Amino acid sequence: MNLGTVELKAFVPARDFELSKRFYQAIGFTMPWCDEGLAYLHAGACSFLLQNFYVAELASNFMLHLSVEKVDDWHRKLLGDDIPARFGVRLGALENQPWAMRDFVLHDPSGVLWRISENLHKPA
């Protein structure tokens, strides 16, 4: 019996599908495939499916956690590329968390909350 897993992808809602696709590409995701209802986006080994579907209650309660190698670099890129002003999104400050992560929050154009973090204690 093989119960190995390969991947888990979230279906992320988009109020404005075209705007959301541009937003995710601007922050560093690649979009190798898209049709009128779904877009496959990835950065490195991390991926998700952006859907042309929106319910406010879902989007405002949807959260994703992206673990990165250098969180300060991600934050600097988003500020340097003026992502908050270009896409009308909220970008939080970098913080060291008591759970041994340095992170910041980013809301996408639909209100989906991303917590982008770096582990402070790296495995040996």
Between CA 67 and CA 102 the distance in angstroms is: 10
Strand partners, 39: 34, 50
For the domain made up of 11-119, give the CATH fold. Answer: 2,3-Dihydroxybiphenyl 1,2-Dioxygenase; domain 1 (3.10.180)
Contact (CB, 8 A) for 94 and 103 = yes
pLDDT exceeds cutoff 70 at 22: yes
| The residue type at 107 | H
d(CA 58, CA 79): 27
Encode pLDDT of 55-110 as tens digits: 999 999 999 999 999 999 999 999 999 999 999 999 999 999 999 999 999 999 99
